[in-house]
Each structure stands twice: as structure tokens, then as C-alpha cells.
A and B are shown apart, each in its own frame.
Chain A
Amino acid sequence: MPFLRKREPREPKKAKPRSLGRDAMRRLMKNRAAVAGGVILLVLFFAAIFADFVAPYSYTEGSVLDNYAGPSAAHPLGCDFMGRDMLSRLIYGARISLAAGLVGAFTAFIIGVTFGLISGFFGGKTDNIMMRFVDIMYAFPTLLLIILLMVFFKSSLSVSGVAAEGFRGTLSNIDRAMGGMFFIFLGIGITSWLGEARLVRGMTLSVRNTEYIEAARAIGVPRRRILFRHVLPNVLGPAIVAQALQIPGFILYEAFLSFIGLGVNPPTPSWGMMLSDGYIAMRSHFHLVLWPALAISITLFAFNFLGDGIRDAFDPRQTR
């Protein structure tokens, strides 16, 4: 494989600075599973972004003649119950899955790091109050909340056929404009950052007690600079890794919500939705569930491999 080609063992004439990031990258490239995961994800992202060019058919329209059609030359993965091309729907579905994964990880990262950093760095009362809030949020029945939100807002559309007014209407419109993804993001956003906040707080506390922070204080480094130059860079790596490992969870969450009918609005294709569409006819037309299930599994594997690889690459115990 070309990307695994061994580099010439050139001795650095002018010793290059080997930052931890650079070291980590080098270790990551040596990890075959992680590289394979990365390649799969690259392909997937490419397909998702350029779905309009890559997908052979439209994801909304099919031909009645092709209902439940098996794989053929024209439709390599067959067609669904409405005669829509499975491959095209899978490709468009990748958009939803990846978006759910990335939006989840990104929100969790931004909120979690900010929250955890403030809580851990300032400590004392601030820390106490902020962490109790996290505890309360943890105890909150999130899924129930999401279900209620969705039932409330989505039913307002389907029953009257006209969008409701006011706040409720606004939210419904946003959700509709996003193909039904708004509430998925909201659901993920409400809870996803809690774990990250705890993690970052813990790391901040331990970094705050290291001697290099003590040294910075002895030098007279202002608090702001200690926070941004000394604490933040040292919690960032693990915080990113933690979210990379969370992505599969978010993807699964979306698939689950869509499967039970609380996810995207038809005809937006989501892998979870495709599973839910297909399982009724599963006995006679197995391909209806096979492809979306495979797509989910492969994506989860790829993310897990890459995530593990990144984690191992950043592990300081592996330095040298």
C-alpha cells in the first residue's frame, strides 16, 4: 500500500523539533487498522459531500416497477419498497449519519471543554455549582425529553397540515428545513457534553496541580496565560480523542431515533430510517435491511479503529 511505504531512515542533519503532535501522527500512520478506518471514512465523507454527483439516482423518486427489486446491473444494491435505488439512498444517508456524528462530537467538544475548563481551573464554589448542574443533567431522562419534544413539534405539523404559529412553529420550521434533523441534534447536544465536561474538569484539576503550573506561578505568569498556554493545550489532546471515540455513539443514536420514527422526516434517507422501512419485508427481501445495517456497522468500525488509533498515538506512555 503506497500510504504505508516506509520512509527513508534519513538521520536529521538539523534535528527537527519533534512535537507531540508530529510524533502522534507518525505513530498513527503505522497503525494499519486506524489507517484503514481513516481511508474508509475519507471515501464516505467524499461520497456524502458529493452525493449529488456520486449517487446514480435520486433518493426521492423510484419506479413502481422496481419495488423490492433485488440487485441488478441497473441497481447494484437493489431497490426499496418504493422502487428507490438503495445505493443512492445509502449515499445520501451517509450525510445524515456523518452529520449526526460530527455535530454531536463538535457540540460536546465545544461545550464540554469550555465548561470543564472553567469548572476545574477556578475550582471552589464555581466548580461545585457547575458540577452539580452536570449531575442533575445526567439524571435527566434525555430520551424521554427528546421523544416528547418530537411528538409535540412533529405532530403539530402532521395533524393540521399547516405549520403552527409562534415559537412552536419556528422550531417546527427549522426542523423541517433540516429534513427533521434539528431535534436529533438538539437531543444529542443536550447530553453529549456532560461526559466531556467531567473529563476535561478532571484533567484540568490534575494539570493545575502539576509542577509546571507551579513554576508558571513562580515566574509570575498571569492567570489567563496559565489557562490558555499551559492548561488548555494539555487537556486538548485527550479531549479530542474522547470525542473521536464518541462519534460512533452519536451515529447510533441518530439511527436509533430514526428507526423508532423520531428521526429524520421522509423522504430524507437515513440509515436508521431505511432499516425501519425495510424490516417489515425483511423475510422476503433481506437486502432492504442488509445494506443499511452493513453501512452502519462499517462506519462504526471505521470510527472506532481510527479513534482507538488516535488515542494510542497520543498516549504519552508510548512516547518512543
Chain B
Amino acid sequence: MEKNVLLQVEGLVKHFPLRKGTFRRSKAAVRAVDGIDLFIREGETLGLVGESGCGKTTAGRSILRLLEPTAGRILFRSRRMAEAMSAGAEGVDVAKATPRQMHALRRDMQIIFQDPYSSLNPRMTVGAIVGEPLLVHNLARGSAREDRVLEVLTAVGLKAEHMKRYPHEFSGGQRQRIGIARALVLEPQLVVCDEPVSALDVSIQAQVLNLLEDLQREFGLTYLFVAHNLSVVKHISGRVAVMYLGRIVELASTERLFADPRHPYTEALVSAVPVPEPDITVERIILEGDVPSPVNPPPGCHFHPRCRYAIETCRTQAPTYRDLGEEHFVACHRSEELRLQPARSK
């Protein structure tokens, strides 16, 4: 594990067993996350992009151990755990942490949710919602807690008078700010942002994205930023991982990914990003067919039924996930030979 790497995920797998029949015994499972590797450096934003149902949320929640991973290692260089248990250079394996360790780890890794409506308890005031993390971690009491809550609320652009109000009195954008405040009050290192702006009006999306960037700078946060298309991720992340049916198909710096996509699926996603200049023509690649079921993923490369470059090998052998150089990771048999269409920009 490199020095400046905060999180390193190795072979993360999360399967949801399917329950059917009277005896509830079956080998079938939803292979929501089927072996992913990635790392995130301190202070950077890694975008995680893919179609609906490809396992982004599952990956994010497994990393935070809100879901129990089926397999894999989640090495996390926790600031506080390192002090407490002299964790080696490897960091703590979140997947193996005991409940007590997990409780301590939660201070360092947080999550921001997609839906600003269902992510706030309607029966608690904003002050209680943002103060609860301090309460359960025994960090500040009474007026000290109130001060801290106020501090965080101010940082996300809310006011003192909002503390005593209930979530239903706020707009979607404001609610999302409350959710952000709740995640930041513990001063975490890593924040998983699970499509934090997808549910918001377009006009408010930019505000919240800017806020997230400001907060990142101010508090030195590291983001795993989940989105279902590249246009949101383009501006906020330094590197992007593209996911398809439970696996990462390509991971590279944002510029590389747009300028030189090496996976046909990335090519299609890149071509779908709207270009500001109307006279530039980019062939918009429309993928045919639906995403196959994660219960029975196709053999070989998961993407081959929809891939226009697929050859025989793709149908039988799963491509290896490899580094093409300069941390450009890809899982495609034909990466080296294909000349894929880059995004035309500026």
C-alpha cells in the first residue's frame, strides 16, 4: 500500500443470496459486486460510474461495511485507528474489523445519500440529526455539542435558526446540506457520496457540487463519488472508475478516460456526454439490449453481448484487469488493438 493511499480495495465481492423455495436453500445469488480492485489517494476524488443496477451503491456500502462483504479486503488507513491500535502500513482491514473497531472506524468513514427525502429522520430536528453522531461517539455534550453542530451547519451553508426545525420544512437542496453536515460532523477522512445530486433540480446540482468541492478543500476530505453518468463526475473527480455488471471495466485519470478510452463500454459512455459546441459531431453510440441480470451474468466478458467489437475470445474468457501503464486500468481483451473514439472537447 502506497504511502498516500487512503483506501485500497482488493477483490471486493458482494453477493446477495436469492431466497426461494420452502427450504430457502439455493446457490443462486445476485452478484451485485463481483470482484473489484481500486485505491483512492488521500485528498482525491475517485468517480465511480455505471448504469443503474451495476453495483455502485453496493460497492460503496460494502466498503463502509454497511453491507457485509462476501469476500475481499478493504484496507483503510484510518487516522484514529492508527493511533489506537498501531495499525501497520497496511491500514485496517475494514472487512475484518470487530464490532468495537468498526464503531471507532465509523468516525473516519462516512456516507452521503442520494435521496435527500428518505435520508433524514422526519421525527428529529436538524440539530438532533447533526448532533447524533457526536452523541453516540461521546464527543461533545451540551453547549459544546451545540456549538459544533452550528459550526458544521454554517460550513454547509445553513443557519443557527435551522437547528430547531424538522426536515420537512426544507427544500431538497437544503436537506442534502443537512445530510452532508451529518456526515462531516465527525471529521471523517473518507466520504462515500452515493449520487448526492441525482435527486436534485439541475439548478441546485451545481451548488451542491461546488459545496462538496469547497468542503473537500477545507477539511482535506477524500471522496468516492458515485454517479450514473460521466457528466457529473467529469468536473469533480480526478480519476474515474467505470463499472459494468459488478466489475470495474476501466479506471483512469479523468482526462485519460475521456481522451483515450480503452474499453468499448467507456467509449459509449463518453460519447453520451453532452458537448457544449453544437457543430462538433460526435457519433453517439447507443448500446443495444439491456443490462443482463446480475444473477446470471454472461460468460466471458460481461459486456460482450452488447459490444460491437466482440470476438470469440470475449464470449468464453473473462478479460484480466490490467494496468496499461500510468495507472490506466482496463479489462478488455482488445484494449491494445482497438482505436476507440475519444470525447471531443474544446
Please list the residues of chain A having a beta carbon within 8 angstroms of any beta carbon in chain B. Answer: 14-15, 17-20, 210-212, 214-222, 225, 229-230, 233-234, 316, 319-320
Contacts and interface: CB of A to CB of B under 8 A. Distances in A.
Q: Which 9 A-B pairs have the closest CB atoms?
A: A211-B119, A220-B106, A233-B123, A17-B164, A212-B121, A211-B113, A219-B133, A211-B118, A210-B118
Contact of B122 (A14, A20, A222): A20
Given A216-B121, A219-B132, A219-B186, 5 more contacts: A214-B111, A219-B110, A229-B124, A230-B121, A234-B122
Contact of B166 (A18, A225, A320): A18
Contacts of B123: 20, 230, 233-234
A68 B122 CA distance: 59
29 contacts: A17-B164, A17-B166, A18-B165, A18-B169, A19-B166, A20-B122, A20-B166, A20-B168, A211-B118, A212-B120, A214-B66, A214-B111, A214-B113, A214-B119, A215-B119, A215-B120, A215-B179, A216-B121, A218-B106, A218-B110, A218-B183, A219-B110, A219-B132, A219-B186, A220-B102, A221-B132, A230-B121, A233-B121, A320-B168
B64 interface: yes
B103 A220 contact: yes
B166 A220 contact: no
Nearest to B164: A17
Given A211-B115, A212-B121, A222 B136 contact: yes
Contact of B182 (A18, A215, A230, A233): A215
B231 interface: no
Interface in B83-122: 102-103, 106-107, 110-111, 113-115, 118-122
Given A210-B118, A233-B123, A234-B123, A219 B166 contact: no
Contacts of B102: 220
Nearest to A221: B136
A249 B162 CA distance: 43
Interface in B122-160: 122-125, 132-133, 136-137
Q: Is the interface of A mostly helix, strand, loop or mixed?
A: helix
A225 B136 contact: yes
Nearest to B115: A211
Contacts of B119: 210-212, 214-215
A240 to B, nearest CB: 14
A301 to B, nearest CB: 32
Contacts of A214: 61, 66, 111, 113, 119
A229 B122 CA distance: 11
Nearest to B104: A220
Contacts, number: 76
A162 B198 CA distance: 76
Interface string B1-28: 0000000000000000000000000000
A316 B179 CA distance: 21
B218 interface: no
Contacts of B312: none
Q: Is the interface of B mostly helix, strand, loop or mixed?
A: loop
A298 to B, nearest CB: 35
A18 B125 CA distance: 10
A237 to B, nearest CB: 9
Contacts of A222: 136
B277 interface: no
Contacts of A18: 165-166, 169
B321 to A, nearest CB: 29
A218 B166 contact: no
Nearest to B179: A215
B111 to A, nearest CB: 5
B336 interface: no
A20 B122 CA distance: 8
B326 interface: no
B161 interface: yes
A210 B121 CA distance: 9
Contacts of B113: 211, 214-215
B168 to A, nearest CB: 5
A221 B186 CA distance: 13
Given A18-B166, A18-B169, A210-B118, A216 B132 contact: yes
Nearest to B123: A233
Given A214-B113, A219-B132, A17 B106 contact: no
Contacts of B166: 17-20
Contact of A15 (B115, B137, B165): B165
Contact of B121 (A217, A218, A234): A234
A218 B169 CA distance: 24
Contacts of B133: 219-220
A211 B61 CA distance: 12
Interface string B277-298: 0000000000000000000000
A215 B64 CA distance: 11
A18 B115 CA distance: 22
A57 B282 CA distance: 94
A15 B119 CA distance: 24
A232 to B, nearest CB: 9
Contacts of A229: 124
Nearest to A320: B168
Residue from B125, B164, B179 whose CB has the most chain A CB atoms within 10 Å = B164
A3 to B, nearest CB: 26
A221 B102 CA distance: 12
